[in-house]
Amino acid sequence: MSGTARPVLVLNGPNLGRLGSREPDVYGSTSYAGLVRECTRLGAELGFAVEVRETNDEGEMVRWLHEAADGAIPVVINPAAFTHYSYAMRDAAAQRTAPLIEVHISNPHAREDFRHTSVIAAVASGTVAGFGIGSYRLALRALADQTD
């Protein structure tokens, strides 16, 4: 991340690296590479230096959230399955020192009951869900509004 663009982390939890092939009827046909391109393109347009990351490892996600808190870096996070049970991630997100927006490609409230609870939502600046990859675009635009 360089220049005068403000750094932003877009963090993705388990199975999101399989976008485009994983349940396209739920998650759409955009590949993970397409998500990365869209986030970095829009981020640049908004004056952000966006770094997109994906992990299937809860500990790695916690370390990234610590990095963001230590650097006062805004975060867009799709915790994926971690949303519903990772208190370690919730506690790391609670340490935020810049806006943190939770995103979901699908609408968790229109799906199975276990997906209706987010342990992250209470410590996030806001949540955007149900707009496909557009959820990330909306979250980045919200960050731009919050960090002006």
Tell me whether residue 27 is one of the annotated catalytic residues: yes
State how far the Cα of 55 lies from the Cα of 64, in Å rounded to an integer: 10
> Does residue 1 fall inside a structural domain?
no
Closest among 118, 117, 60 to 92, alpha carbons compared:
60
What pLDDT does residue 28 have?
54
Residue 49 to residue 105: CA distance in whole angstroms: 22
Any idea what DSSP says for residue 117? -
Predicted local confidence at residue 1, as pLDDT: 43
Beta partners for residue 54, in sequence order: 12
Does the pLDDT value for residue 26 go beyond 90?
no
CA 54 – CA 43 distance, rounded (Å): 17
> CA 62: distance to chain centroid?
13
User: Is 109 marked as binding a ligand?
Assistant: no
Is 109 one of the catalytic residues? no
Instruction: Name the pTM for this structure.
Output: 0.87
Can you give the CATH number for the domain in which 134 is found? 3.40.50.9100
Mean pLDDT of 118-142: 94
110 pLDDT band (50/70/90 cuts)?
Answer: low
CA distance 148 to 141: 11
54: enclosing H helix or E strand: strand 48-54
Domain with 96 in it: 6-146
Active-site residue, selected from the candidate residues 27, 32, 87, 109: 27
pLDDT value at residue 112: 66
- Is 106 known as a binding-site position? yes
Domain membership flag for residue 20: yes
Q: What is the pLDDT of residues 34-93, one digit of tens each?
A: 899 999 999 999 999 999 999 999 999 999 999 999 999 999 999 988 888 899 999 999
Q: Which is catalytic among the residues 104, 109, 116, 136?
A: 104
Residues facing 74 on adjacent strands: none
- What is the pLDDT at residue 50? 98
Per-residue pLDDT, 2: 46
Q: pLDDT averaged over the chain?
A: 87
Task: Find out whether 127 and 121 touch, Cβ atoms under 8 Å.
Answer: yes
| Residue 116: inside a domain | yes
Q: Is 2 annotated as a binding residue?
A: no
Q: What is the count of structural domains for the chain?
A: 1
Q: Is 145 part of any known ligand binding site?
A: no
Q: What is the mean pLDDT of residues 23-35?
A: 68
